[in-house]
Amino acid sequence: MTSTPEAHATHVVTNQVPPLVGHNTAADPVLREGVEREGAGWALPQIDELGRLAGSAEAQEWGRLAERVPPRLHTHDRYGHRVDEVEYVPAYHQLMQTAVEHGLHAAPWADDRAGAHVARAAKFYTWNVDAGHGCPISMTYAVVPALRANLELATRFEPLLTRREYDFGLRDPETKRGLIAGMSMTEKQGGSDVRANTTTATEQADGTYVLRGHKWFTSAPMSDLFLTLAQTPAGVSCFLVPRVLPGGERNAMRFMRLKDKLGNRSNASSEIEYDAAVGWLVGEEGRGVRTIVEMVNMTRLDCVIGSSAGMRTALTMAAHHASHRSAFGKLLVDQPAMRNVLADLQVESEAATTAMLRLAGANDRAVRGDEGEAALRRIALAVTKYYVCKRAPFMVNEALECLGGNGYIEDFDVARIYREMPLLSIWEGSGNVAALDALRALAKEPHTLDAFLAEAELASGADARYDAALDRLKKEFTSFDDIELRARRIVEQMALVFQGSQLLRYAPAPVSDAFCASRLGRDWGGAFGTLSPRGDLDAVIERALPA
């Protein structure tokens, strides 16, 4: 018999998984149910439009290109003049333009509809094709409530910050069609301890301030405006610093270098120096930390949204892979051990997303004047930011492992998600800072604990394991001895109770049962894939499969 070339082919590709493209990333039942529940059902058509774009090959290629071709810093032009500019690839600008046009930045602050901030949270979750450009989008969202501490500055700049036009380039901000904002808080000697900052601000005769100092982390340095902290004789104060001054002269912000990060490459994180840079005071002198509290609330929420989105995207990739890849005579999704892993990952993801959407709803109602929701947001956001952002790297690592060796390769995007996850736990204060801030809120604002427990009590009686967990949590507050030593323990318990309360009220019974059995009842091995076989894992997995 004469052999054919195909009979001796050495590179026939079989049993590989088709690309996950052409799907709607907003077709997540957990997301859709929560958006309806929290008052933003009117936005589902917009969210779907963005979800279909996020699932397209075109948008995913933008994300890959922005990551593979990182920004370049140009400190000087060819003649030796300082320019302090960062150059991005066109794909980065495509991502930014899409995010701004869909209102992921500050647009909700100009939208009077109830649920506007929930809709924005859902879009931020859905548009998870690149983490890097999400940073300036998030900061632009967060800057508005802080900027309102200076009505004159808010009047000048808020309409441009909320406008759905992306207008890149260094020009007088008041001549642009739309603005992007950043923040520049931490310094190398203090990190989260911003009261240790050494940057100084000196008032001038015209009411402006001159800033001098070195900032250790300033992301998205090509933004138009920055909120920054500096010392005045009255103490740490907050300032708005433009990249370009009125009239067109560039402000004296000098770029030292771009950071070589573990996570995303697409966003330029930099060290900068203020060399007599001009800024405007926001709020009162000496009250800078208080001025930026509202900004911190918003960026914390985005940390939870970003973690939840990364968890869901990694889970979708794992479930898609398992639905197409065969091993030992079966599709992976039909192998019992893999089914336990996928179900466990879905429980973790659903708990994070459901809690996130409740917080988005609380935020929406808080900014509209609901004091009870503001109290719940203050404490539940602090504990959820701590816990969900801690869990995300573990969960994404397990999702990566579902792809085997492919998951470890950068061509398969779950590796990019995994690299990004630790950032969200560090941003706005790493673990101890976040946990201690939650306890500080309980001490200074006792009504926040009342709000939290009132929310938790709404699920009482639905599950004995939940009720026992709630009782254990309450006992933690019977003594305040060594409370800082117990900080992480308490905050973790609070986060789990909060997640459990939401799942018991809103998730299908198989999901809430698996959560209560494993996370609260401790019928769990700790590693993912150790759920009790007595649960309805099939019903849980069904919610993980991409549409």
Mean pLDDT (the chain) is: 95
What length is written for the chain? Answer: 547
Between CA 140 and CA 182 the distance in angstroms is: 6
**Is the pLDDT at 177 greater than 60, yes or no?**
yes
C-alpha torsion angle, residues 236, 239, 244, 245 (rounded to 10): -110
What number is the average pLDDT over the span 353-382?
97
pLDDT tens digits for range 287-326: 998 898 878 889 999 999 999 999 999 999 999 999 999 9
Six-digit token string for 478: 């019977």
Domains present along the chain, CATH in parentheses: 29-285 (2.40.110.20), 290-544 (1.20.140.10)
What number is the average pLDDT over the span 489-507?
98
What pLDDT sits at residue 3? 55
What number is the average pLDDT over the span 512-531?
96
Q: Which residue has the higher pLDDT, 372 or 2?
A: 372
E strands present in 209-346: 209-219, 225-232, 235-242, 253-258, 269-282, 326-327, 330-331
Confirm whether pTM is higher than 0.85: yes
* β-bridge mates for residue 208, sequence order: none
What pLDDT sits at residue 327? 92
Nearby residues of 414 by Cβ (< 8 Å), 6 or more positions away: 313, 314, 317, 318, 396, 399, 400, 403, 407
What number is the average pLDDT over the span 238-251?
97
Amino acid in the structure at residue 150? N
**Is the pLDDT at 5 greater than 60, yes or no?**
no
Between CA 345 and CA 68 the distance in angstroms is: 28
Number of other CB atoms surrounding residue 474 within 10 Å: 14
Nearby residues of 319 by Cβ (< 8 Å), 6 or more positions away: 333, 342, 541, 544, 545, 546
Number of other CB atoms surrounding residue 120 within 10 Å: 29
What pLDDT sits at residue 73? 97
Between CA 466 and CA 459 the distance in angstroms is: 8
Between CA 306 and CA 99 the distance in angstroms is: 14
Sign of CA dihedral 244, 157, 264, 55: negative
Label residues 421-440 b or e (16+ Cβ within 10 Å = b): bbbbbbbbbbbeebbbbbbe
Q: Which residue has the higher pLDDT, 449 or 480?
A: 449
What pLDDT sits at residue 8? 64
Say which DSSP state 3 is in: P
**Is the pLDDT at 420 greater than 70, yes or no?**
yes
What pLDDT sits at residue 2? 55
Residue 208 and residue 259 in contact, taking contact as beta carbons nearer than 8 Å: no
Between CA 76 and CA 442 the distance in angstroms is: 50
What pLDDT sits at residue 7? 56
What pLDDT sits at residue 526? 83
Largest Cα–Cα separation, the chain: 97
Residue 324 and residue 17 in contact, taking contact as beta carbons nearer than 8 Å: yes
**Is the pLDDT at 106 greater than 60, yes or no?**
yes
- Cα–Cα–Cα angle for 132, 72, 250, rounded to 5 degrees: 95
* β-bridge mates for residue 200, sequence order: 212, 231
What pLDDT sits at residue 192? 75
Q: Percent of the chain beyond pLDDT 70?
A: 99
Residue 245 and residue 172 in contact, taking contact as beta carbons nearer than 8 Å: yes
DSSP result, 298-323: HHHHHHHHHHHHHHHHHHHHHHHHHH
Label residues 253-268 b or e (16+ Cβ within 10 Å = b): bebeebeebebbbbbb
Between CA 354 and CA 308 the distance in angstroms is: 9
> For 209, how many CA atoms within 13 A lie in the half-sphere containing its CB?
25
H/E stretch holding 181 = strand 181-184
What pLDDT sits at residue 528? 96
Number of other CB atoms surrounding residue 405 within 10 Å: 8
Nearby residues of 404 by Cβ (< 8 Å), 6 or more positions away: none
Q: Which residue has the higher pLDDT, 427 or 99?
A: 99
**Is the pLDDT at 242 greater than 70, yes or no?**
yes
pLDDT tens digits for range 184-221: 888 888 777 777 888 999 999 999 999 999 999 998 99
What number is the average pLDDT over the span 452-463?
98
**Is the pLDDT at 6 greater than 80, yes or no?**
no
From residue 30, how far is each of 27, 249, 263, 372, 524 by CA, in Å? Answer: 9, 49, 27, 25, 23
C-alpha closest to that of 491 among 444, 423, 445, 433: 433
